[in-house]
Chain A
Amino acid sequence: MSWTPGLEGYVFILIAGFLATDIWRWLGVLAGNRLDESSETLNWVRAVATALVAAVVSKLIVFPTGELAASPLWVRLLAVTVGAVAFFLGRRIPAIGIGAAIATLAAALWWIGF
């Protein structure tokens, strides 16, 4: 399908976005606090949820949309690599990794005359 800015688009967002997300919030309220943290099912759920987000992340890095689509892949991979190194050296503080990655990206893009 091609994306629509009209009513259909909002219905799509309500079903695939609002409903898909809030179902779990409501179930969370109803479930209260009795969840077996060590259950294998919950472990699988965590793995699937994380792998989904990770797949989106790597897609954004390898196949970005918008302006970055015109940038060379090595620039983006370099930024992520420098960010990861800074993150692990910097006691795994998110701001350090994020800052290093964005600074590297900006410097590399500037250097290639982006």
Chain B
Amino acid sequence: MRNKKLDHRANSGFRADALERQGVSSAATDGAEGPGDRSTGYWIGRGMLGLFSLPGMILLVSFSGFAAFAAQSGIPMAQAVFMTAVIWALPAKVILVGSIVSGAPLIAAFLAVTLSSIRLMPMIAALVPEIRTRETPTWALLLVSHLIAITAWVMAMQRVQAVPRAHRFAYVTALGLTLTLSSMTLVALVYPFVATFPPLVAGCLFFMTPVYFLASIWSSARQRVILVALVVGLAIGPFAAIAFPDIDILISGIGGGTLAWAIERAWRKREERAA
């Protein structure tokens, strides 16, 4: 029952590993070419169409929310678009804007953003073996890795299984580029209008970002420690903001995260002793 539930969790954090443990290695689909073999162009098109899906639409709405958030935080439009291009991951951008707003020095902003981005490493490490062939050069993978953030990753992990291996790199590149460029365009399109929105609409758009993160982190969490850290971080955040106005995000991350880790670990040990 539990396994079935996990399989249906599209957002699952470490799906590749889970599949591998269940013996569904990517090798099983390597030969899936057969008579219906399609051209690379076809798979590029399919990758681009990934934009028109529920996760794609939620992504666009939350980027409209980011545009509103950036505008109301005093970040110029060109910089908001630039952030979307060079960072792409929404949590990292929200943390960067949050650090800028609280006047954090460069090193504190760097640490807060980099700590929030560590999770990209295991995500991408899980995706790479799925999309590379022997001929795929490492520099190409380094470039395409930039297009991967949570939504693109979830979609790629789910969908590449149905794509012949030879076309997976092209598929993921098309999907990631389409999502990135659409989001950049949307940020540029929405930003100038944020000031003209009625306060109620601007407020609701702004509110999309925190609510989207709460729901997507909770529903994609595969480990209990993530849920504990979410609750602890939520509880600590506002108090840290009052106590350490410049470096509150960093303090809540390291302090709250370590506390959450210790709580979950003690909980786990207790269960092990009871078992």
Contact = CB atoms under 8 A, between A and B. Distances in A.
Interface of A is mostly: helix
A21 B115 CA distance: 9
A79 B264 CA distance: 28
Interface string B93-109: 11110111101011001
Given A25-B146, A32-B129, A79-B207, A56 B115 contact: no
A26 to B, nearest CB: 6
Interface string B67-102: 011011111101100110011110111111011110
B203 A15 contact: no
B268 to A, nearest CB: 9
B193 interface: no
Interface residues of B, number: 113
A41 B117 CA distance: 15
Contact of B219 (A3, A80, A92): A92
Contacts of A54: 217, 229-234, 237, 252, 256
A54 B258 CA distance: 14
Nearest to B233: A54
Contacts of B207: 60, 64, 68, 76, 79, 101-102, 105
Nearest to A94: B215
Interface residues of A, number: 80
A21 B92 contact: yes
A19 B86 CA distance: 9
A4 B234 CA distance: 30
Interface in B7-23: 11, 14, 16-17, 20
B210 A47 contact: no
A16 B99 CA distance: 10
Contacts of B170: none
